[in-house]
Chain A
Amino acid sequence: MYVYDDFDTAFLKERNRQFREQVARRIDGSLTEDEFRPLRLMNGLYLQLHAYMLRVAVPYGTLNPNQLRKLAEIADRWDEGYGHVTTRQNVQFNWPKLTDVPDMLDALGEVGLHAIQTSGNTIRNVTSDHFAAAAADEIADPRPYAELIRQWSTDHPEFQFLPRKFKVAVTGSEIDRAVTKAHDVGLRMVRKDGAEGFEVIVGGGLGRTPMIGKVLRDFLPVADLLPYLEAVVGTYNLLGRRDNKYKARIKITVHENGIEAVRDLVEARFAEIAPQFDTAATLATLARIQGMFRAPEFRQVSDLAYQAAHGADPVFRAWADTNLHAHKAEGHAIVTISLKAHGATPGDMTSDQMRLIADLAERYGYGEIRLSHEQNVILPHVALADLPAVHKALKGRGLATANVGLVSDIIACPGMDYCALATARSIPIAQEIATHFDALKLEHDIGPLKIKISGCINACGHHHVGHIGILGLDRAGVENYQITLGGDGSEDAALGERTGPGFAYDQIVPAIERILRAYLELRTSREETFLQAYRRLGLGPFKEALYGAERHAA
């Protein structure tokens, strides 16, 4: 992974020194809250419902064991002993004291982590495929490009005060695990005439006006990546609306001006600025970065131990069948560690769990750890022979739940349990759905299903692209949950369709059960997933299952 050079280290140290002084000036009264707020937000520090929250950037979701151990140390020393994995591959601490934050940032700096641009109207942490460099279906590792973009965008003087936040996702595979079509800019690696480049997608996003991104350029050569991105963000910086916060994202700019007009402006700007970029130097930097992301030498080991455990141990087999993904190297697998034990808070990881995962990554995983936007942890490279040992260790810390991609593997935003913007709770809904279907023993029967829950229309829980999306609202002073069906965050991205009136807090789990029981009745076979059945049947039969009983009673 990327290793900081002297410049990076000095930059971070200086930023942290500045913020320490800003905090001191806030506390001694020389800075008002209005003056301090933009400064703290630039350093990832929010004030939430019950406490401050520090959002740590995890570039493209990649961590090494020492970084994860440092997060564990921070959780124990300055927080409540856990961290929360977000839907943008970051880690949040929910309970820091203002006076402790400068020390927390210094601790992060020791392992090359920070919280810069995890908030504010800037280019946010660049996200990527959590299976990068491991998946068999990949053209190339997207992370060196994500790192190049990170370096270009961090502290970029032109882009510190954009009309609104700006999120970029990069994937190196045809299979989109990075939700590129729901980002301000999504970059999908493609090959043309033997050369690698990107399909550039613009104007996707969820929130109050959900939109699927549109193709801005079908092939962007790698050498043009930075000037083209600078042209896109520069165009948006001038054209994007600043009169209305809710119409300020680039998706609205594209929607109001049309993709053709935006494309013309971007291409004109690109033609103007591209000559100012030193392409050779950029490619040299890229090559240097790529050198740091070289794949490990994968061991050649017999998989007999794996086969034996798979045959003999049904618990291991269930876990292996749901939580593993095909690896590009023979004799290896990608392990998804579920942070969704039934009844647990989606995405929360205790400091003990962090240390165990760090140890396992070091011992069995070539030192690589990923966080997924689906709020799980990935060990991208594990030899099949080591899986029984890894599973055993995970089981001992409550990390071996065999539910990846199933009904209880739910994305949930923090909701009104933490977030100051939320209009309803998300976490308890996720906990109850998970425990309910676990008790019914229906999880494996239902099969692949993505439930995503947001506690307000800002849609951090990606509910619009959930096969089943749940949106928590405040309806006349009562929590109310709207359901959408048929959303999809993959390469076939689609927005879910609203079923109708929402459900009260204590009615939402029974409502989800009615939908899923209808699916079990209606599917042609076990092979037809919920999403496939929905696409075949449409909203009708599910609507009937949801509201029919009420209508007939009325």
Chain B
Amino acid sequence: MSRAPKIHVVTANALIEGDVVYLTAAEGWTRDLKAARAFEDQTEAEAALAKAAKRGNEVVGCYLAEVRLTAQGIEPTHFREDFRRRGPSNYAHGKQAAA
């Protein structure tokens, strides 16, 4: 089985609100995973992460999260990232309240 190259987004928590954000193509931050920039190239992803991690006045805890590209846009591959983009399952708080 061939191993497809992994696709990533740069994600973090916003410094003031603490909520989940993703790096966009314009190097801004979005709350919406689908509006994030998906890096298909590992080296580019790591370079973007290193650059984003220096923006400590905007975000905390930058890392690369694995995603897949679907007809509906960017989707997380792991359930933790699914919860992060959506918010808690017991209340419509956080991102769900804003939606």
Q: Kindly report which residue of chain B lies nearest to residue A344, judged by CB atoms.
A: B90
A95 pairs with B93, CB closer than 8 A: yes
With both chains docked as a complex, state the minimum distance between the C-beta of B18 and any C-beta of chain A, in angstroms. 4
A51 pairs with B90, CB closer than 8 A: no
A97 pairs with B17, CB closer than 8 A: yes
With both chains docked as a complex, state the minimum distance between the C-beta of B25 and any C-beta of chain A, in angstroms. 24
B57 pairs with A50, CB closer than 8 A: no
B80 pairs with A416, CB closer than 8 A: yes
Please tell me if B4 contacts chain A, counting CB pairs below 8 Å: no
| CB within 8 Å of B: which A403-458 residues | 416-418, 425, 427-428, 431
Please tell me if B13 contacts chain A, counting CB pairs below 8 Å: yes
Please tell me if B23 contacts chain A, counting CB pairs below 8 Å: no
With both chains docked as a complex, state the minimum distance between the C-beta of B31 and any C-beta of chain A, in angstroms. 11
| Residues of B contacting A229 in the complex (Cβ-Cβ under 8 angstroms) | none
Please tell me if A49 contacts chain B, counting CB pairs below 8 Å: yes
- Which residue numbers of B lie inside 8 Å of A, CB to CB? 13, 15-20, 56-57, 60-61, 77-80, 83-84, 87-91, 93-95
Please tell me if A158 contacts chain B, counting CB pairs below 8 Å: no
Partner of B94, one of A47, A50, A474: A50
A477 pairs with B79, CB closer than 8 A: yes
With both chains docked as a complex, state the minimum distance between the C-beta of A337 and any C-beta of chain B, in angstroms. 20
B60 pairs with A49, CB closer than 8 A: no
Partner of A427, one of B61, B89, B94: B89
CA distance A98 to B87 in the complex (A): 18
Q: Which of A52, A428, A479 has the most chain B CB within a 10 Å cutoff?
A: A52
* Given known A-B contacts A47-B60, A50-B95, A477-B77, A97 and B90 have beta carbons under 8 A apart: no
| Residues of A contacting B80 in the complex (Cβ-Cβ under 8 angstroms) | 416, 474
* Given known A-B contacts A29-B57, A52-B18, A47 and B91 have beta carbons under 8 A apart: no
CA distance A33 to B13 in the complex (A): 12
CA distance A309 to B13 in the complex (A): 53
Q: Which 8 A-B pairs have the closest CB atoms?
A: A417-B88, A52-B18, A51-B18, A50-B94, A345-B90, A29-B57, A427-B90, A98-B16
In the complex, given contacts A47-B60, A474-B79, what are 5 additional A-B residue pairs having Cβ atoms less than 8 angstroms apart? A50-B87, A94-B93, A98-B15, A98-B17, A477-B77
CA distance A49 to B14 in the complex (A): 11
Please tell me if A321 contacts chain B, counting CB pairs below 8 Å: no
Partner of A32, one of B17, B56, B91: B56
* Given known A-B contacts A80-B93, A427-B90, A428-B89, A27 and B16 have beta carbons under 8 A apart: yes
- Cβ contacts A to B, 19 pairs, < 8 Å: A27-B16, A47-B18, A48-B18, A49-B20, A49-B84, A50-B19, A50-B20, A50-B87, A50-B94, A50-B95, A51-B18, A96-B18, A97-B18, A98-B16, A98-B18, A417-B90, A418-B88, A431-B90, A479-B79
* Given known A-B contacts A33-B56, A416-B80, A479-B79, A51 and B15 have beta carbons under 8 A apart: no
Interface string of A26-64 (1 = CB under 8 A from B): 110100110000000000000111111000000000000
Q: Kindly report which residue of chain B lies nearest to residue A98, judged by CB atoms.
A: B16
With both chains docked as a complex, state the minimum distance between the C-beta of B22 and any C-beta of chain A, in angstroms. 14
Interface string of A479-511 (1 = CB under 8 A from B): 100000000000000000000000000000000
| CB within 8 Å of B: which A389-404 residues | none
CA distance A49 to B77 in the complex (A): 17
| Residues of A contacting B91 in the complex (Cβ-Cβ under 8 angstroms) | 80, 345
CA distance A474 to B13 in the complex (A): 22
Please tell me if A283 contacts chain B, counting CB pairs below 8 Å: no
| Residues of A contacting B56 in the complex (Cβ-Cβ under 8 angstroms) | 29, 32-33
A477 pairs with B78, CB closer than 8 A: yes
With both chains docked as a complex, state the minimum distance between the C-beta of A408 and any C-beta of chain B, in angstroms. 15
Q: Kindly report which residue of chain A lies nearest to residue B91, judged by CB atoms.
A: A80
Interface string of A71-115 (1 = CB under 8 A from B): 000000000100000000000001111110000000000000000
With both chains docked as a complex, state the minimum distance between the C-beta of A498 and any C-beta of chain B, in angstroms. 23
B84 pairs with A50, CB closer than 8 A: yes
With both chains docked as a complex, state the minimum distance between the C-beta of A434 and any C-beta of chain B, in angstroms. 12
CA distance A80 to B19 in the complex (A): 14
| Residues of A contacting B93 in the complex (Cβ-Cβ under 8 angstroms) | 50, 80, 94-95
B17 pairs with A416, CB closer than 8 A: no
With both chains docked as a complex, state the minimum distance between the C-beta of B59 and any C-beta of chain A, in angstroms. 9
Q: Which of B13, B18, B78 has the most chain A CB within a 10 Å cutoff?
A: B18
Please tell me if A268 contacts chain B, counting CB pairs below 8 Å: no
CA distance A363 to B92 in the complex (A): 35
| Residues of B contacting A97 in the complex (Cβ-Cβ under 8 angstroms) | 16-18
CA distance A417 to B93 in the complex (A): 11
CA distance A50 to B20 in the complex (A): 6
A27 pairs with B17, CB closer than 8 A: no
With both chains docked as a complex, state the minimum distance between the C-beta of A232 and any C-beta of chain B, in angstroms. 35
CA distance A174 to B94 in the complex (A): 44
A99 pairs with B16, CB closer than 8 A: yes
| Residues of B contacting A27 in the complex (Cβ-Cβ under 8 angstroms) | 15-16, 57
Please tell me if A292 contacts chain B, counting CB pairs below 8 Å: no
Q: Which of A50, A417, A427, A474 has the most chain B CB within a 10 Å cutoff?
A: A50
